[in-house]
Amino acid sequence: MEPDTFQTLVLAWIAVAVLLVPVQLRATAPYGRHTNTHWGPLMDNRLGWVVMEIVSPMMLLYFFLNGPNEKTAPLWFMAGLWALHYINRSLIFPMRTRTDGKQIPVVIVLSAVFFNTVNGWSNGYFLGFIAPPLKEAWFSQPHVLIGLALFLGGAALNLWADELLLRLRKPGETGYKIPSGGLFRYVSCPNHLGEIIEWAGFALIAWNVAAMGFAVWTAANLVPRALSHHRWYREHFQDYPPERRALIPYLL
Ligand code: NDP
């Protein structure tokens, strides 16, 4: 595929993310605390997470490894960051959730499979087929260093916050409690904030349209989700801290 065609396709994909923001703000995606039975058949929550998330690193690695590009260290580095994130998200995170007996709509799993297929493909295809043969000097470029700091900081925040949420439940529990401590003092969803920062950092490191697309999609998914979670906490806990915001301390 010509690089111009690739770019047009990915820009169209980014436009879809932007156009869907008003829909995502109005209709909360029905998984986790928002799961309901109006969305057709359900499947085991943990299995659903593995199935929908494993697609992303598989697509990325397939197109990266099978592309004709010389696999220089910077390209391996970017593919490696993606794979590391998804080892956690598709295998470790689902196994550690305390969601025994909980279910997720099959339609959510299928739409996430599609989402992850497109993003894994576009990022793998860029690295395997389109990226220039970056050399070692790339590692000391300012956009790479700043992007890496954001990526690592965002990933650390995401991992810490997910861990704290997972530990709110004792084995066998499936209910919800008010999270507290660290950034939870200021926002309801530091895990979503961390993930948004992480992929914005990756876009800065990789500095290409595919990585930008994933950063936009992540924000388009997680800003509405954090707002829904925040509303849900306020509706379900009378003693929910009133000063806490949804996603960005003091602002949102
Ligand atoms: P949530 O914060 O809703 O849930 C994370 C886990 O913690 C779930 O197992 C949940 O259980 C449990 N949990 C959450 N809040 C509480 C609480 N108050 N008390 C007890 N247990 C709680 O995260 P999401 O499901 O929205 O997302 C999971 C991860 O995936 C996040 O790190 C997110 O950033 C990432 N993600 C990334 C996307 C992207 O586009 N890049 C899109 C969606 C998610 P339960 O499932 O029972 O609610």
The answer on pLDDT for 37 being more than 90 is no
143 lines ligand 1 (CB under 6 A): no
| Distance from C-alpha of 127 to C-alpha of 250, rounded to nearest angstrom | 38
Q: Which residue is associated with the tokens 């397939």?
A: 62
- The verdict on the CB of residue 230 being under 6 Å from ligand 1 is no
Strand segments, DSSP code E, in the chain are: 42-44, 103-105
Residue 3's pLDDT band, with cuts at 50, 70 and 90, is very high
Both structure tokens of 56: 């992303």
Task: Give the residue, out of 14, 24, 33, with the most ligand 1 atoms within 8 A of its beta carbon, to mutate for a pocket test.
Answer: 33
Q: What is the pLDDT of residues 46-74, one digit of tens each?
A: 999 999 999 999 999 999 999 999 999 99
Instruction: Judge if the beta carbon of residue 168 lies within 6 A of ligand 1.
Output: yes
How confident is the model over 143-180, as pLDDT tens digits? 999 999 999 999 999 999 999 999 999 999 999 999 99
Question: The pTM is what?
Answer: 0.97
Map residue 247 onto helix, strand or coil.
coil
Helices (H), 126-208: 142-166, 190-206
| Ligand 1 atom nearest residue 233's Cα | 18
29's torsion region: left (phi>0), alpha (psi -120 to 50) or beta? beta
**Contact 218 CB / ligand 1 (< 6 Å):** yes
Is the minimum distance from the CB of 32 to ligand 1 under 6 angstroms?
Answer: yes
Contact, 127 vs 83, CB < 8 A?
Answer: no
Query: How much of the chain exceeds pLDDT 70, in percent?
Result: 100
Report the pLDDT value the prediction gives residue 101, as an integer from 0 to 100: 94
For residues 56-79, one letter each, b for 16 or more C-beta atoms within 10 angstroms of the residue's C-beta and e for the rest, the string is: bbbbbbebbeebebeeeebbebbb
| CA 158 / ligand 1 centre spacing (Å) | 10
**How much is the pLDDT for 192?**
98
pLDDT at residue 230 above 90?
yes
**CA 51 / ligand 1 centre spacing (Å):** 16
Euclidean distance between CA atoms 207 and 201, whole angstroms: 10
Give the length of the chain: 252
Q: Quick one: average pLDDT of 205-220?
A: 98
pLDDT tens for each residue of 220-229:
999 999 999 9
Q: Is 192's C-beta closer than 6 angstroms to any atom of ligand 1?
A: yes
Which tokens sit at 168?
């709110």
- Rounded to whole angstroms, what are the CA distances from 102 to 35, 84, 168, 175? 9, 27, 16, 11
Return the residue matching tokens 């949420």.
Answer: 165
